[in-house]
């Protein structure tokens, strides 16, 4: 089935938005202009044209990217996305967000991002495997457990990570499980990774609500995107006592004001692949889901969804950014003025990279943890990161986004200043 996102993103480029937010944080931190400028530029941009043989014998080539933003705090890491919208601007912006995210949650990593411009739904499994392996082969000098560790993102998961690990290992002549994270368990993956981003999102939301003297139980929730992140967030929100009233995916949305039974929806999606046609709810448009009068809105599909053109239509009290940059900087200000709290992506979707870090530690030590241990440690890391940004909100009157950015950017800026400039 050929499916492509119909969502129209804001016209401001992703990189422009990321730089605007960096500038704001730089001003709040009082950083010299030259330092902020350095932080706004990536270390390296790598572009490939990976040719593959299609099933019908023809040859097609696909643009592949890896952008390494900063390794000041440790090896680069970040997701690899397979999507028709992937381009250098988006990958560069996300690599920068990744640096702030790793820094905010205290990981010894720097940010990178990668991807291939392709609609994976139009390729057979064999074509997709050949593309993943060729992309990896073209990046064989770029990826490395000590230098740059790819992770899953949109349309990539444990299967693609296994192909990347195998291709890289074959090229090196030894098994290197630490070269990617988000792998299947049997080849060095960790328990808890599959659910980590959704779990981290709900844990950070619970931190926010506790800070506000509120609780998730009894709240209504709408979620845009029902993939690896949105589906886990929906199930865990329901388990925490919230009523998930609407969800959507690329085929449209479903809405039931009485609350959806997420386990039942998951079974339906397992059998039918998408939410469309789910019988125990009414259909709702992919945009309309953003405007429902719910307590919590979780955009967990793509960036640029809430912008100045629609910010006044948002009726949720809390927005939790599952996707990267779903609220534009201009919309941030409009929402804040209306008393809507935005929990920023660099905290809200950090669960995946935190548990990827746990996976990398376990691979390097060949010592594996229980799922409870993984989840407990995740909870602890999120709580500590939230406490840092909450302090900035409480004591310095910052928005939650700037509270998070000031922590994330500040630690990298300090490390950069201490390490100095080479040569």
Shortest spacing between CB 143 and ligand NAD, in angstroms? 18
Task: Pick between residue 36 and residue 255 the one whose CB is nearest to ligand NAD.
Answer: 255
Shortest spacing between CB 402 and ligand NAD, in angstroms? 20
Shortest spacing between CB 107 and ligand NAD, in angstroms? 13
Task: Pick between residue 178 and residue 200 the one whose CB is nearest to ligand NAD.
Answer: 200
Q: Which residues bind ligand NAD (CB under 6 A)?
A: 5-7, 152-155, 197, 224-230, 248-250, 286, 300-302, 322-324, 349, 352
Token output for 325: 């940059």
Shortest spacing between CB 305 and ligand NAD, in angstroms? 9
> Judging by beta carbons within 10 Å of its beta carbon (0-12, 13-18, 19+), is residue 202 exposed, middle or buried?
buried
Task: Pick between residue 31 and residue 342 the one whose CB is nearest to ligand NAD.
Answer: 342
Task: Pick between residue 6 and residue 270 the one whose CB is nearest to ligand NAD.
Answer: 6
Token output for 143: 């990826």
Task: Pick between residue 10 and residue 36 the one whose CB is nearest to ligand NAD.
Answer: 10
Closest residue to ligand NAD, judged by C-beta, is 227
Task: Pick between residue 250 and residue 347 the one whose CB is nearest to ligand NAD.
Answer: 250
Please give, one letter per residue, the 3-state secondary structure of the chain.
CCCCCCCCCCCCCHHHHHHHHHHHHHHHHCCCHHHHHHHCCCCEEEEEEEEEECCCCCEEEEEEEEEECCCCCCCEEEEEEEECCCCHHHHHHHHHHHHHHHHHCCCCCEEEEEEEECCHHHCCHHHHHHHHHHHHHHCCCCCECCCEEEEECCCCCHHHHHHHHHHHHHHHCCCCHHHCCCCCHHHCCCCCHHHHHHHHHHHHHHHHHHHCCCCCCCCEEEEECCCHHHHHHHHHHHHCCCEEEEEEECCEEEECCCCCCHHHHHHHHHHHCCCCCCCCCEEECCCHHHHCCCCEEEECCCCCCECCCCHHHCCCCEEECCCCCCECHHHHHHHHHCCCEEECHHHHCCHHHHHHHHHHHHHHHCCCCCHHHHHHHHHHHHHHHHHHHHHHHHHHCCCHHHHHHHHHHHHHHHHHHHHCCCC
Shortest spacing between CB 132 and ligand NAD, in angstroms? 15
Shortest spacing between CB 155 and ligand NAD, in angstroms? 5
Shortest spacing between CB 233 and ligand NAD, in angstroms? 9
Shortest spacing between CB 328 and ligand NAD, in angstroms? 14
Nearest Cα residue to 115 out of 165, 65, 167: 65
The sign of the torsion formed by the CA atoms of 296, 320, 312, 213 equals positive
Shortest spacing between CB 171 and ligand NAD, in angstroms? 26
Which residues have a Cβ under 8 Å from the Cβ of 145 and sit 6 or more positions away?
A: 75, 176, 178, 179, 360, 363, 364
Task: Pick between residue 31 and residue 284 the one whose CB is nearest to ligand NAD.
Answer: 284
Shortest spacing between CB 55 and ligand NAD, in angstroms? 23
Task: Pick between residue 329 and residue 352 the one whose CB is nearest to ligand NAD.
Answer: 352
Task: Pick between residue 31 and residue 66 the one whose CB is nearest to ligand NAD.
Answer: 66
Task: Pick between residue 4 and residue 124 the one whose CB is nearest to ligand NAD.
Answer: 4
Shortest spacing between CB 389 and ligand NAD, in angstroms? 17
Examine residue 100 and say whether the peptide bond preceding it is cis (omega within 30 degrees of 0). Answer: no
Task: Pick between residue 137 and residue 251 the one whose CB is nearest to ligand NAD.
Answer: 251
Rounded to whole angstroms, how far apart are CA atoms 188 and 368? 9
């Amino acid at each position: 089935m050929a499916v492509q996102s119909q969502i129209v993103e804001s016209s401001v480029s992703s990189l422009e938005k990321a730089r605007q937010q960096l500038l704001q944080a730089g001003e709040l931190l009082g950083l010299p202009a030259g330092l902020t400028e350095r932080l706004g530029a990536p270390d390296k941009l790598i572009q490939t044209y990976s040719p593959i043989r299609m099933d019908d014998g023809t040859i097609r080539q696909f643009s592949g990217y890896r952008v390494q933003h900063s390794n000041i705090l440790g090896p680069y890491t970040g997701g690899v996305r397979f999507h028709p919208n992937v381009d250098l601007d988006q990958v560069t912006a996300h690599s920068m967000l990744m640096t702030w995210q790793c820094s905010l949650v205290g990981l010894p990593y720097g940010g990178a991002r990668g991807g291939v411009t392709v609609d994976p739904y139009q390729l057979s499994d064999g074509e997709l495997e050949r593309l993943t392996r060729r992309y990896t082969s073209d990046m064989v000098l770029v990826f490395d457990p000590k230098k740059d560790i790819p992770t899953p993102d949109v349309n990539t998961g444990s299967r693609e990570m296994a192909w990347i690990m195998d291709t890289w290992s074959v090229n090196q002549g030894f098994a290197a499980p630490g070269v990617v994270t988000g792998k299947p368990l049997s080849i060095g993956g960790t328990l808890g990774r599959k659910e980590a981003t959704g779990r981290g999102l709900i844990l950070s939301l619970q931190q926010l609500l506790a800070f506000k003297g509120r609780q998730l139980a009894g709240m209504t929730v709408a979620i845009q995107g029902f993939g690896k992140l949105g589906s886990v967030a929906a199930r865990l929100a329901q388990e925490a006592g919230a009523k998930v009233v609407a969800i959507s995916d690329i085929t449209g949305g479903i809405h039931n004001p009485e609350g959806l039974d997420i386990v039942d929806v998951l079974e339906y999606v397992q059998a039918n692949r998408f939410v469309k046609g789910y019988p125990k709810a009414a259909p709702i448009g992919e945009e309309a889901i953003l405007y429902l009068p719910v307590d919590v809105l979780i955009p967990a599909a793509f960036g640029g969804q809430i912008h100045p053109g629609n910010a006044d239509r948002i009726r949720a009290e809390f927005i939790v950014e599952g996707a990267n940059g779903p609220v534009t900087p201009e919309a941030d200000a409009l929402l804040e003025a209306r008393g809507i709290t935005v929990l920023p992506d660099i905290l809200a979707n950090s669960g995946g990279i935190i548990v990827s870090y746990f996976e990398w530690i376990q691979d390097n030590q060949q010592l594996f943890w229980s799922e409870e241990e993984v989840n407990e440690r995740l909870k602890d890391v999120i709580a500590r990161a939230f406490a840092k940004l909450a302090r900035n909100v409480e004591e310095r009157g910052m928005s939650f986004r700037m509270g998070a950015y000031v922590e994330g950017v500040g630690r990298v800026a300090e490390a950069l200043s201490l390490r100095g400039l080479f040569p």
